[in-house]
Chain A
Amino acid sequence: MNFCLVCPETTPVPENIIEIRNLSKYYGHSRGIEDVSLEVKQGEFFGFIGPNGAGKSTTIRILLNLIFPSSGSAKIFGMDVVRSSKQIRSRLGYVPSDASLYDKMKVHEFLRFGAAFYGGTRSEDRIRELAGILDLNLERRVTELSTGNKKKVNIIQALAHRPDLLILDEPTTGLDPLIQSKLFGLLTEENKRGATVFFSSHILSDVQVLCRRVAIVKDGRIIRSDEIAVLREKQLKKVRILFTENGILDNIEITGMESFHRESPRSIVFMFSGDINELINRLSVCSVESLSIEEPPLEEIFLHYYQ
């Protein structure tokens, strides 16, 4: 049995912190997401990756009850996101992809206003600590901030109350590499503390660095959900075959072969997720000069799914 990190005593926490079942959202006739199902476990660092417009933000907005699902259901901490949104939000930190801040406020006023909703004064010290790490001047006016500094404010407001769950939508946009690395450090720390992290991004390298498990979303659907190591090692292989002059095979069709590409008249490359023995049997009738079967870089795996 797990227990809530910030809220008291012995509040039990379900094993699945996020549980989405057959979730769909349509905006009139246009598709937002379709039949999305996924689970994020307690303490997990979960990547939610997909190209722009794939439906990542729509999913997150449903989780936050900013928009309502057309069908399906979603639960956080075992509570329905529509019926119990207030209770859920008291234990959640959210970094929006493109959120503005209230103008006519100084940064510290804005952060204090946000922290006041959670009660107590513990956040004050934490805000100063986080501002120090992210190199943010709390005395500046919100209207004077650059995009990157606004993002820092959003990161601080999400982390200040030490939430049980962090939902981050494109959190690195606008941040320079140094601050990005500091952010990754903070997120890793939070995750070590026990917080679950739901990291949505279209930047592969960010996900690769931080997440253990990912869901790949495309055209509003989850097309793959697995551990990064599994995606890389067990599933897709990159196969390159160089035939001899008189052994060229024009048509090699085998189950599990995708993204076929002829590099030269004698050389072919493709991604393969089928049975290796079947591939070897099929090649045994040709004259092969060299054969390489390797794990593709993560970028290629994602690009394969995106396409």
Chain B
Amino acid sequence: MINTILFRMEFRRNLRSLVLWSAVICALIFFTMSLFRSVLEYQQQIMGMVKIVPMAAMKARGFGNITDIFSGLGFYAANNIVYMMLLGSIYSMVLTSNILLKEEYGKTAEYLMSRPISRDEIFTTKSALACLNVVLLNIIACLVSYISLEVFKSGDFRIQPFMVLTLYTFLLNLLFGALGLLVACLIRRARPVTFFCVGLVLVLYFLFTISRLSGVKGYFGYMSPFKWVNVEVLNPSYGAEFWRIFLFLGLTVLLVILSGFLYRKKDILT
């Protein structure tokens, strides 16, 4: 089902964007983690400042307790929300929506679709390439994060919560990728949807942040997939939860199947 000719071409076409996004995200992760030593150095002063910050605001920033800020993993997890969960999701959604729509608004669809290649092959190939790019971004970010933690840590950290958080982040990125595919297939007359995708991810992120800030319990925050990621890595019982993985994977598969079905029936209007 995957067309290797198209796959290779798309890989080359999207490589620069992958390298740029990876470089920016990794630089941010490394730079932020490099500040951790300073945080430890000025622990007393920071404690004084942090005490006047409402706990809800701390939670919104990703810290479960005030002291989490002085744990390497806790500090990393709070920053990971912004860098890999938010920026990674923006990258995924923009990539998947554009990988399909670019052919239409760039008027190359007529060329591609006059080759002996079926719509299913085009959809599968482009989805697989997008998935590969998201996997690569996550692997690169995971490696840089691990190295940063090792370099700037104050003591030992548990690798298992780190890997679980990385897994959740990857699944979140994949879900937004699948959402991007659906957006591309729903748009009747193709046009760039970068702003829409960025806007949607930000709205869902703010929904998640507001739910943490206001301490609202119940289902409100769960409207945002960001909420489905358990970020409380310092909780001793932290681990992979089946329902979260099932929710992410199930919804991703569902969105991809729905998008594939819509793409099969879509009028390509160039």
Q: Which residues of A are interface residues toward B (Cβ below 8 A)?
A: 27, 61, 64-68, 85-87, 89-90, 92-94, 96, 98-102, 104, 113-114, 116-118, 154, 157-158
Q: Is B106 an interface residue (CB 8 A)?
A: yes
Residues of A within 8 A of B265 (CB): 68
The complex places the Cα of A99 from the Cα of B225 at a distance, in Å, of 39
With beta carbons under 8 angstroms apart, the residue of A68, A117, A118, A157 that contacts B267 is A68
Within 8 A of A (CB), among B69-122: 106-111, 113-119, 121
- A65 & B117 in contact (Cβ 8 Å cutoff): no
- A114 & B115 in contact (Cβ 8 Å cutoff): yes
Residues of B within 8 A of A118 (CB): 115-116
Q: Considering residues B109, B110, B114, which has the most beta carbons from chain A within 10 angstroms of its beta carbon? A: B114
- A99 & B5 in contact (Cβ 8 Å cutoff): no
Kindly provide the distance from the CB of B208 to the nearest chain A CB, expressed in whole angstroms: 37
Q: Considering residues B119, B269, B270, which has the most beta carbons from chain A within 10 angstroms of its beta carbon? A: B270
The complex places the Cα of A101 from the Cα of B106 at a distance, in Å, of 8
With beta carbons under 8 angstroms apart, the residue of A85, A102, A117 that contacts B108 is A102
Q: Is B9 an interface residue (CB 8 A)?
A: yes
Residues of B within 8 A of A85 (CB): 118-119
- B108 & A99 in contact (Cβ 8 Å cutoff): yes
Q: Is B191 an interface residue (CB 8 A)?
A: no
With beta carbons under 8 angstroms apart, the residue of B9, B108, B117, B268 that contacts A100 is B108
Residues of B within 8 A of A64 (CB): 110, 113-114
Main secondary structure of the interface of B (DSSP, over half): loop
Residues of B within 8 A of A86 (CB): 116-118, 121
Q: Considering residues B108, B110, B119, B265, which has the most beta carbons from chain A within 10 angstroms of its beta carbon? A: B110
Q: A86-B117, A100-B107 are in contact. Are A67 and B268 (CB under 8 A)?
A: yes
The complex places the Cα of A96 from the Cα of B121 at a distance, in Å, of 22
Interface string of B229-270 (1 = CB under 8 A from A): 000000000000000000000000000000000000101111
Interface string of B1-39 (1 = CB under 8 A from A): 000010001000100000000000000000000000000
Inter-chain contact count A-B, CB under 8 Å? Answer: 70
Give me 27 A-to-B residue pairs in the complex whose CB atoms sit less than 8 angstroms apart, sorted by A's number. A61-B110, A64-B110, A65-B119, A66-B267, A66-B270, A67-B267, A67-B269, A68-B265, A68-B267, A86-B116, A86-B118, A87-B116, A89-B113, A89-B115, A89-B116, A90-B116, A96-B114, A99-B270, A100-B106, A102-B111, A113-B9, A114-B115, A116-B5, A117-B115, A118-B115, A154-B111, A157-B111
- B117 & A117 in contact (Cβ 8 Å cutoff): yes
The complex places the Cα of A282 from the Cα of B267 at a distance, in Å, of 55
The complex places the Cα of A85 from the Cα of B48 at a distance, in Å, of 70
Nearest CB in chain B to that of A98: its residue: B107
Nearest CB in chain B to that of A67: its residue: B267
Residues of B within 8 A of A154 (CB): 111
Residues of A within 8 A of B113 (CB): 64-66, 89
Kindly provide the distance from the CB of B241 to the nearest chain A CB, expressed in whole angstroms: 43
With beta carbons under 8 angstroms apart, the residue of B106, B110, B116, B118 that contacts A66 is B110
Residues of B within 8 A of A157 (CB): 111
The complex places the Cα of A98 from the Cα of B107 at a distance, in Å, of 8
The complex places the Cα of A61 from the Cα of B270 at a distance, in Å, of 10
Q: A113-B5, A116-B5 are in contact. Are A92 and B268 (CB under 8 A)?
A: no
Q: A86-B116, A117-B115 are in contact. Are A99 and B269 (CB under 8 A)?
A: no
Identify the 4 closest CB pairs spanning chains A and B, nearest first. Answer: A90-B116, A94-B114, A117-B115, A100-B107
The complex places the Cα of A89 from the Cα of B107 at a distance, in Å, of 18
The complex places the Cα of A96 from the Cα of B268 at a distance, in Å, of 14
The complex places the Cα of A158 from the Cα of B111 at a distance, in Å, of 9
Q: A66-B113, A86-B116 are in contact. Are A104 and B13 (CB under 8 A)?
A: yes
The complex places the Cα of A113 from the Cα of B119 at a distance, in Å, of 18
The complex places the Cα of A114 from the Cα of B267 at a distance, in Å, of 22
With beta carbons under 8 angstroms apart, the residue of A66, A94, A102, A158 that contacts B268 is A66
- A99 & B116 in contact (Cβ 8 Å cutoff): no
